[in-house]
Amino acid sequence: MNAMAPVGAPSLPTAVDYRVYHDTQIFAAEQRNIFKGRTWCYLGLEAEIPNAGDFRATHLGETPVVLVRGQEGKLHAWVNRCAHKGATVCRSLRGNQADGAFVCVYHQWAYDSEGTLVGVPFRRGMKGVGGYEKDFDLASHSLEKLRVESYKGMVFGTFSADIESLDDFLGPVMRKYIDRVFQRPIKVLGYSRQYMAGNWKLYSENSRDSYHGGLLHLFYPTFGIYRQSQDSAGELAEQGFHNVFTVSKPKGDIDYGSFGDEANREMQGSAKLQDERLLQFRPEIEDDVGLHIQSLFPSVVLQQIQNTLATRQIVTHGVDKTELVWTYFGYADDDEETTRHRLRNLNLVGPSGLISMEDGEAVELCQQGTVGAEGKHSFIEMGGDDVRGYYAPMGMDENAVRGFWKGYLNLMGDALAVSAEASA
């Protein structure tokens, strides 16, 4: 093809109608078909809730969910919505509920850690007045429970009763890379939250877009650092929508050069880094990979960049409101000096990341630029118009972005077409 898609044409992995970033009906359909559909959504890390009674407020798509470690150590997750009047039950971001009971403040309906209703005040009324009918069944008024499974300490939940196991949903390629990061026990180092006035899919595309790396993020070239001899690859899961990028540390010395000839902005680095500890990389996994960015559909990115380790959870608050929750971690056996090194490396990533902060701006620019552009399409043909399982070297292609849309369009079925007709 290699020409712009005609106005009003259906979305393809190579050409997506800009409507998908703005249409509230599509957003609602995504909540049904994707987040509450046949996917496993990331909820948090086991390391965040190590002890019985530990809980963490989280989201699945736009839906508030609480992840709890039960009394026997089992993981549970339920929608944070009282079965009585719909009130928020758990009002804290995190904590420990030592007695395992979660009580709604409104009428004191009490739930156990699994989300089962265990007590209702004045259930039988008083002196024969009020109360519920005799056949009132506590268990059938429980919180909405999710299926929960964990892989290597990453916890996922689903509303789907018949989806395949988490292991199968992730597939062997994604599991291999998760194994890599979670090679030994971890400890959480903290959080940051970033709120973007843009659609969640713009961020999902961004984390799968290798093309922008050296063009939007100019930190390395500004300081004259470009690693020409590095090996890179992109790999996709079978569905297309999960992917992983890896870049290996250069063999031998770092190559200082520039790639100014190909870029359209000034790339010639004359600045010199004052404190190079910022960039220091200490390989700690049995390979030379210095960058590992893994996007697991629909809602999380797992990363190792230098010695930073993090998950980035995507929370969809609205069609143009996306929160990114960064959970930073290290390994449980890190000594104080190693932790300090990770903190120093963390300058590179996150909402203030020297090599990544621009992503938030790119998401908002695309949101702003596509206002009123319903029926018009993006153009995603860098490096081909197909979706490949393996693409190397990566960086001059949009293979994984096409993979995202392939998986997305499959799950959405005819919901996009229905939305287009309804608003025509």
- Which residues are at the interface with another protein (CB under 8 A)? 93-94, 188-197, 216-219, 221-223, 271, 273-275, 277-278, 323, 328, 339-340, 343-344, 346-347, 350-352, 354, 357-362, 364
In the complex, least distance from residue 190 CB atom to another protein, rounded to whole angstroms: 3
Q: How far is the CB of 27 from another protein (least distance, A)?
A: 20
* Beta carbon of residue 10, minimum distance to another protein (angstroms, whole number): 32
Cα distance from N-terminal residue to C-terminal residue, the chain: 26
* Minimum CB distance to another protein smaller for 151 or for 203: 203
- In the complex, minimum distance from the CB of residue 307 to another protein, in angstroms, rounded to a whole number: 13
The DSSP 8-state label assigned to residue 32 in this structure reads I
Identify whether the C-beta of residue 265 lies closer than 8 Å to the C-beta of residue 259: no
CB of 395 to another protein, least distance (A): 18
Yes or no: say if 308 and 349 are a contact pair by the CB < 8 Å rule. Answer: yes
| CB of residue 275 to another protein, shortest distance in Å | 4
Residue 24 or 268 having the CB closest to another protein: 268
Across 275-344, the runs of DSSP E, i.e. the strands, are 289-296, 300-305, 308-318, 321-331
Closest approach of Cβ 402 to another protein, in Å?
25
The CA distance from 51 to 68, in Å, is: 9
Residue placing its CB nearer to another protein in the complex, 93 or 332: 93
Our CB check for another protein shows the closer of 110 and 215 to be 215
For residues 110 and 412, give the distance between their C-alpha atoms in angstroms, rounded to a whole number.
37
Stretch (H or E) spanning 248: strand 243-248
Separation between Cα atoms, residue 59 and residue 227, nearest integer Å: 38
Q: Return the number of the residue (217 or 292) whose C-beta is nearest another protein.
A: 217
Where helices occur in 3-100 by DSSP H, the ranges are 24-30
Please identify, using beta-carbon distances, which residue of 40 and 329 lies nearer to another protein.
Answer: 329
Q: What interhelical angle do 399-412 and 200-207 show, nearest 10? A: 140
Smallest gap, in angstroms, from Cβ of residue 293 to another protein?
A: 18
Q: Which is nearer to another protein, 356 or 419 (CB)?
A: 356
CB of 123 to another protein, least distance (A): 37
Secondary structure element (H or E) that encloses residue 399, with its range: helix 399-412
Structure tokens given for 284: 């700690």
Cβ–Cβ contacts within 10 Å for residue 196, how many? 24
CA gap 373, 200 in Å, rounded: 18
Nearer to another protein, 279 or 409 (CB): 279
Alpha carbon distance 166, 184 (integer Å):
20
Shortest distance, position 18 Cβ to another protein, whole Å? 20
Q: Compute the distance between CA of residue 125 and CA of residue 213 in angstroms, rounded to an integer.
A: 64
**What is the distance, to the nearest Å, from the Cα of residue 327 to the centroid of all Cα atoms in its chain?**
11
238: nearest Cα among 293, 170, 300: 170
Q: Closest distance between another protein and the C-beta of residue 120, in Å?
A: 33
Nearer to another protein, 117 or 279 (CB): 279
Considering the complex, state which of residue 133 and residue 336 has its C-beta at the smaller distance from another protein: 336
CB of 17 or CB of 358, closer to another protein: 358
Q: Who contacts 35 (Cβ-Cβ below 8 Å, separation ≥6)?
A: 41, 60, 61, 62, 63, 159, 298, 299, 316
How far, CA to CA in Å, does 22 sit from each of 27, 28, 70? 8, 11, 40
CB 263 within 8 A of CB 246: no
